[in-house]
Structure 1
Amino acid sequence: MTCAPGPATFRLLDAYVGWDQDQQNVERIVGFTDPAGIRLAHSGSSPEGPTRSQLLPWFPDRRLAPGCQPCAWYLLAGARLTRRDECAGGWKPVWSRACDPGLLRDPISVAARGHRVAVVDSGRVLVWRNEGEQLAGVIRLGKASLAALAPDDEVLVARDGRTDLARFSSDGRWLGALPTGADGRVVGIRSGPCRSIWLLSEDNTGFHIHVSESGGKFNTATLGQLAAAIPPSSLVSAGDEGFCLTEPGHDGPVTSCYTWQGEPRPEEPPMPQQYERTGSMVTTKIDSGISRCRWHRVRVDAQVPTGTAVTVQIVVSEDDNYADSDWQTAPPGTTDFLIDQPPGRFLTLRLGMSGDGSATPVVSRIRLDFPRVTSADLLPPAYRQDPVADDFTERFLSLFDATMAEIDRVIERYPALLDPAGVPDRALPWLAGLLGLSFEAGWDARTRRALLKAAPALYRRRGTPWAIEEAARIVFGVTPVINELATDRRWAHTGGKGPGLGAVRLFGRSASRFRIGGSALGAAPLRAFGNPDSDPITEHAYRFRVLLPAGSADEKALRRLVERQAPAHTVGSVRTGGVGFVVGSRSTVGVDTAFVPLPPPVLGGLRLNRDGVIRPGPRGPRRGVSVGVVSAVGVHTQMS
């Protein structure tokens, strides 16, 4: 540990504690409530971002809709619906002149999902299947502006002047309204994986993204969350003259531009700048609570892309009196420096950002350390008699103190890296490697964290029935039943207190294995190893069966799990349940079997009810199993 003589305190500037910004001295910097950090504002009408051009790959112009293939697109070219099927092809009408149904009058938006297509046209929504070959339904809804196709054959419709979404089936049945709670007007709808719905709204402050997971309440989301959930399309720009698509080619990305009529056009020039070129902010006076405080250090956590820069200036004062020449400016590119200012209770910080317009620096946190505490305080007083030498010694030893502090911080945080509940998802495989665990690709983060937490107990009891049951419960969410076959088969017992093995033989010698002079040829198995008297034991010794209800787990994944957890000298089998008993095998009711009603009787295509009567055949009614005749128990035979 470091040898600093006393504890030092610090003050954080971030979105959680607060940036203490002076609102009158903030210029072109936004994101003071964003945990990611503050940054340069976007140029244009949406300074907080994201901009409309950034959202185009996920929320295209309403006249465009991506199809089911990577390069397939639908375009409303006036009153025609066109489709682009091939990566290098043009736009062709969905219906030829001979097959055009003539339903489109004044279409305003198009949506597609899989092989379904929907068009909003003159207060109605037309829905087709098979990419326009079959009209599925017509939804009549006034002021309809946008439509989106969701899973389960559902259609979502946005209306002008309203923020809720109307829900219909593809054939036009009303399914209810879905409140969104969004401010402004809805300008984009997308359906994502796991029944999620993504919404884009616009108001006076800019664009806002909302998401509803599995039909739940809509919450505000970020562009990063949208990009992680839905892959972006190839649309890169859209304007009054047309739009452009950038798609992979043989020699790299290829950009194709078209007019809104589907005609090719020259490639657009590069997009203009997205961010402001400069921005600044000044904090209010930050109070240390210590009179004549010697402020120590400033640390800035920032991401500075190429072409951008961050500058930091500070001034320390005991009151409001300081001159412009009193500001201390950190060297360019420095994000960690010592404060070289006279003692004072208050500190004021000025932060500047700059860039070329294509990128912005992001400052996530600023840390101010005070008062000054260094290892120089442990030196004899003789080393600190000269004020100039004392200042140099403190600054010199601060270099080593900073290095030792980083080592201390790593040591302090190391136990947290071994906590399965606290580490990031991407660190879970690394943590599992320390414990000798291997994860399958289909396991989510919750399952992986649960396995890591239970790893000590699983290792201590590995190979026991409890460990196998617990591992299956964590991975598949259901507790299996484990049958040890040797304990279930009492071969040489006639009762609970009857004679045991060795006292009486309940199986014949010929049925065990082939014996010369004692077995009928062809009636006994040929085995040439071991003692024949131990066959009833070795038949099921060291063997067990794992039983799970039907549909509760993937049988192949469960078998791999059992192979890893089972002892090396055992043989395990896996069986998932069905809908009835398995003849010739042990069955556990409620685990691998289930009682279900019989299917309704059907005779010659006619379903029989309780009033139907079937007369017996020429051989009379059958009351039991007939020897030599195939019989189905419970259908035309009964147990009596």
Structure 2
Amino acid sequence: MTCAPHPATFRLLDTYVGWDESTEPGARGIVGIVGFDDPAGLRLAYRGDAPEGPTRGSLLPWFPDPRLAPGCGPCAWYLLVPDERRLLRRDVCSGAFTPVWPPGCDPAALREPVSVAARGHRLAVVESDRVLVWRREGGQLAGVIRAERPRWAALAPDDEVLVACQGSTDLRRYDSTGGFRGVLRTGARGEVIGLRTGPERTVWLLTDDDGRIRIHRGGHRGPFRPVTADELAAALPPSALTSAGEDGFCLSEKGPDGPQTTCFTWQGLPRDAAPPTTDAYMTSGSYVTTLIDSGISRCRWHRVRVDADVPAGTAVAVEIVVSEDGRYEESDWQLSAPGATDFLVDQPPGRFLRLRLRLSGDGGATPVVRRIRLDFPRATSADLLPPAFRQDPAADDFTERFLSLFDATLAQLDRVIERYPALLDPAGVPDRVLPWLAGLLGLSYEAGWDAPTRRALLAAAPELYRRRGTPWALREAVRIVFGVAPVIDELAADRCWAQLRKAAQGQGQGPEPRRGQGLGAVRLFGRSASRFRIGGSALGAAPLRAFGAPDSDPYTAHAHRFRVLLPAGSADRTALLRLVERQAPAHTVGSVRTGGAGFVVGSRSTVGVDTAFVPLPAPVLGGARPVRLNRDGVLRPGPRGLRRGVGVGVVSAVGVHTRVS
């Protein structure tokens, strides 16, 4: 129980706090239930000697029956018929199994086939004393591998064949022609019942050690180690095989109306009904807790809540008993209603409570119980009523139970309200909630923005709104969306109307100070060639432009206009322009310019946007563009080494050490 300064009001039973299993000699404790250390919760045990491990049936999609092997494509399968010494291949178009080789055309007649393996267009059939390897899906016999009692084979991506022999878990390595390459030690115990290869040259091994099935992962670069079924499912995609029994097998594949199941016999003939399968789980299990101490004498236990997943065909039942001294009779147990996972405690007051959990199923599925919560002492809205309503004990008990129905509903509303601030956390909400959260803040997303970009915009929204319309806000929005900081060029700063050069500061070498350029040397105003003036411009010498008085041109030229500069290839120009239009103030006009191929004559160019200083290419004598031996030609680096562009603190000459591109 979590330590807190206030009295406890509930008790949790789960993996993190503990399930408090009973260890008393007379109690039945745990029967048929596993998962007490699993955060996923309690569940029914598997049948057999490994109640918590995987079953052979659950691993069929990854380790099929030795007579089956998935081929190239989602619907391609190979089926080995040992009794008839035939190998069948499923036709992708018709879905029927047909012989790989026509009668009498088998390049290597099968004698005693044991298992089959396939990978891409390669095929291998394991016999009692050899392994036959084909290419082109059986069209070309690549080689024959001689081995002692082989049972399993797997085809590696580098034209390697792994063979597992009877009585050993070590793997023998061959090439497709039968050449021996060595032995791969696995260190696994038991008997090999499955073998396959995965990406990055990984090898997956399935063993049976006295009824306990284990999965091992290894390869040429690392030792083999046991892994779980979840790790297997995360690393390798499952096949369409869903079940296999004595009478046949079934495949679950995508159809025009959704997933459909197709069943076949072991001779490749279609079946109408699925073959019988062995139950994976036990059909019942129970678990009893120890005496749970409330710490309150004659405590009135209030409520039991069970957090569980109950699939069809399964059930969860909870029984409780309350006592003051830990002694009780079998008839004192209170059983919850069928299917109820939230009920009130109908027991006399007592300090101790004991709980019994029963799980049941049909063998094909199991319920999962994640957590059980016990609320105490009883606290309802009846405590707010006047004492006159609580004088009769029987009526008082009914009133408390009746009001508990409404208290439960209000408690759910309170939990929703308490969790509401979590919905405003950009880093914690699911991806699908981000558009809703952006709508609350007035943000709009584009379809191409990923979830991290949207979360970053939501986190920066308060500061972006506070400084909206400033160059910083526009620069920050572009940086978040496109991952690059732009250059904001305000065109009004480029105006050079009616300006004088600043006077030089400081004293010169002579007795008189140095003077800057003054009036008479710079023309402040004069004849304008930018647009036509009546009485001042010759016809055809200046363009006709009508946007106000010409005398205001020094103040209105490029006013409220800016340009966003980005290097070439750093952002989509159309998407960038849409973002700039949304972020720019209403009285301004923004434009976008991405980097070009070099300097633009007659317009402003920015280093890093339009240009980049790169080193000269290596000189080559002769060829299409021969190097001339002059002062700019360098045959080999000097004592300081090869120049790599512009160096800080080092004199670099454009055209000698670098070129502008």
The match for 1:481 among 470, 480, 486 is 486
Counterparts of 2:539 and 2:357, CA distance in 1: 100
Residues 1:581 and 2:585 are matched in the alignment: no
Quick one: which of 406, 431, 448 aligns to 2:412?
A: 406
Could you tell me which residue of structure 2 aligns to residue 9 of structure 1?
A: 9
- Of 345, 361, 370, 2:367 maps to 361
The corresponding residue for 1:630 is none
**Larger relative CO (CA 8 A, sep 6+): 1 or 2?**
1
Q: What does 1:615-634 align with in structure 2 at a 5 Å threshold?
A: none
Structure 2 CA distance for aligned equivalents of residues 144 and 441 of structure 1: 53
Tell me the equivalent position of 2:250. 244
Equivalent residues in 2 for 1:127-166, closer than 5 Å: 147=154
* Counterpart Cα distance in 2 of 1:496 and 1:266: 96
Deviation, 1:575, is 3.0
What is the CA distance between 1:49 and its match in structure 2? Answer: 5.4
1:243 CA drift (Å): 3.6
* Matching of residues 364-379 of structure 1 within 5 Å: 364-379=370-385
Question: In the superposition, relative to structure 1, how do residues 529 and 54 fare at CA in structure 2: closer, same or farther (>3 Å)?
Answer: farther
% same residue:
56
Conserved 8 A contact 2:532-2:545: no
Whether contact under 8 Å (1:469, 1:479) holds in the other structure is: no
The residue aligned with 1:547 is: 566
Equivalent residue, structure 2, for 1:327 = 333
Cα distance between partner residues in 2 of 1:45 and 1:527: 94
Q: CA deviation at 1:237?
A: 2.4
With over 3 angstroms needed to count, the CA separation of the structure-2 counterparts of 1:381 and 1:456, relative to structure 1, is same
1:460-499 correspondence runs (5 A): 460-476=466-482, 478-484=483-489, 486=491, 489-490=494-495, 492=497, 497=502
**CA contact under 8 A between 1:186 and 1:202: conserved in structure 2?**
yes
The 2-side partners of 1:418 and 1:535 are apart by 50
Whether the 8 Å CA contact 1:201–1:208 is kept in 2: the answer is: yes
Q: Cα distance 1:137–1:596, how it changes in 2: closer, same or farther (>3 A)?
A: farther
Task: Work out which of the residue numbers 292, 310, 328 in structure 2 matches 1:304.
Answer: 310
Q: Structure 1 counterpart of 2:594, which letter?
A: R
After superposition, residues 332-481 of structure 1 pair within 5 angstroms as 332-439=338-445, 444-476=450-482, 478-481=483-486
Residue number among 27, 30, 38 corresponding to 1:26 in the alignment: 30
SS in 1 for 2:57: helix
1:71 pairs with 2:71: no
Distance in 1 (CA, whole Å) between partners of 2:143 and 2:275 is: 42
Maintained 8 Å contact 1:316/1:345 = yes
| Larger CA deviation: 236-245 vs 312-321 | 236-245
State the Cα deviation string for residues 427-470 of structure 1 (Å, max 9, x = none): 33433333334455665544443332222223333444433443
Structure 1 residues 572 and 162, CA gap change in structure 2 (3 angstroms): farther
Q: Secondary structure of 1:509's match?
A: coil
Cα 1:201–1:314 change in 2 (3 A) is same
Against the structure 1 CA distance between its residues 165 and 473, is the aligned structure 2 distance closer, same or farther, given a 3 Å change threshold? farther
The separation in 1 between residues aligned to 2:48 and 2:145, in whole angstroms, is 38
Distance change (3 Å), C-alpha of 1:567 and 1:430: same
Bigger drift between 431-440 and 345-354 goes to 431-440
Deviation digits for residues 396-419 of structure 1, max 9, x if unmatched?
333333333222222222112222
How far, CA to CA, are the matches of 2:567 and 2:218 in structure 1?
37
Measure the CA separation in 2 of the matches of 1:7 and 1:28: 36
Query: Contact 1:183–1:201 at 8 Å: present in 2 too?
Result: no
Deviations 1:485-505, CA, capped at 9 Å, x for gaps: 516745658986489999357
Residues 364 and 538 of structure 1: is their aligned pair in 2 closer, same or farther, counting only changes over 3 Å?
A: farther
1:503 aligned residue (516, 520, 524): 524
Asked whether the 8 Å contact 2:131–2:145 carries over to 1, the reply is yes
CA-CA distance at 1:543 after TM superposition: 3.7
Residue correspondences, number: 590
In the TM superposition, 1:74-223 aligns within 5 A as: 84=90, 86-90=92-96, 110=117, 112=119, 117=122, 147=154, 187=194, 201-202=206-207, 205-206=212-213, 223=230
CA contact (8 A) 2:614 2:659 kept: no
Retained in 2: the 8 A contact 1:314–1:328? yes
**Corresponding residue to 2:58 among 39, 54, 58:** 54
Change (3 A) 1:441 1:236: farther
* Paired residues of 2:307 and 2:371 also in contact (CA < 8 A): yes
Distance in 2, Cα, partners of 1:562 & 1:198? 53
Per-residue CA distance 1:245-274 (angstroms, 9 max, x = gap):
233445665544456676656653354544
The answer to whether the aligner puts 1:35 opposite 2:39 as a matched pair is yes
Amino acid at match of 2:524: A
Structure 1 residues 621, 331: closer, same or farther in 2, change over 3 A? closer
Any conservation in 2 of the 1:119–1:126 contact (CA below 8 Å)? yes
User: What does residue 3 of structure 1 align with?
Assistant: none
Q: Secondary structure of the residue that 1:21 maps to in structure 2?
A: coil
- 8 Å CA contact 2:316–2:359 kept in 1: the answer is yes
Q: 1:288 aligns with which of 289, 294, 307?
A: 294
**More moved, 321-330 vs 375-384:** 375-384
Secondary structure at the residue paired with 2:439? helix
Q: Is the 8 A contact 1:39 1:363 kept in 2?
A: yes
CA contact (8 A) 1:51 1:207 kept: no
Q: Is the 8 A contact 2:206 2:215 kept in 1?
A: yes
Task: Report how far residue 92 of structure 1 moved.
Answer: 6.3
- Structure 2 residue aligned with 1:606: none
Farther off after superposition, 524-533 or 379-388 = 524-533
- Structure 1, unaligned runs of 5 or more: 1-5, 602-609, 625-632
> Would the aligned equivalents of 2:382 and 2:400 in 1 still touch at CA under 8 Å?
yes
Change (3 A) 1:445 1:505: same
CA change 1:342–1:155 in 2 (3 A) is farther
Distance in 2, matches of 1:261 and 1:441, equals 52
The Cα shift of 1:295 comes to 1.5
Pairwise CA distance, 1:239: 4.6
Name stretches of at least 5 consecutive residues in structure 2 with no aligned partner.
Answer: 1-5, 503-516, 633-653
Letter in 2 for 1:547: L
The 8 Å contact of residues 214 and 226 in structure 2, kept in 1 or not, is answered as no
Change (3 A) 1:546 1:163: farther
For residue 394 of structure 2, give the secondary structure of its aligned residue in structure 1. Answer: helix
Whole-angstrom distance in 2 between the partners of 1:329 and 1:250: 48
The 1:17–1:248 alpha-carbon spacing in structure 2 relative to 1, beyond 3 Å, is: same
CA distance 1:616–1:145, shift in 2 (3 Å): closer
Residues 386, 265 of structure 1: alpha-carbon distance in 2 compared, 3 angstrom cutoff: closer
CA contact (8 A) 1:107 1:119 kept: no
- Taking structure 2 as the reference length, what is the TM-score of the superposition? 0.68
What is the DSSP-based 3-state SS (H/G/I as helix, E as strand, rest coil) of the residue aligned with 1:53? Answer: coil
Letter of the aligned partner of 1:281 in structure 2? Y
Residue 596 to residue 164, structure 1, CA distance change in 2 (3 Å): farther
Q: What residue identity is the alignment partner of 2:10?
A: F
Q: How does 1:228-267 map to 2 (within 5 A)?
A: 232-239=238-245, 243-250=249-256, 254-258=260-264
Q: Which has the larger radius of gyration?
A: 2
Contact 2:286-2:357 at 8 Å conserved across structures: yes
SS in 1 for 2:22: strand
Greater Cα shift, 47-56 or 494-503: 494-503
Report deviation, 1:323.
Answer: 0.5
Change (3 A) 1:262 1:615: closer
Distance 1:613 1:479 in 2: 42
Whole-angstrom CA distance in 1 between matches of 2:452 and 2:22? 43
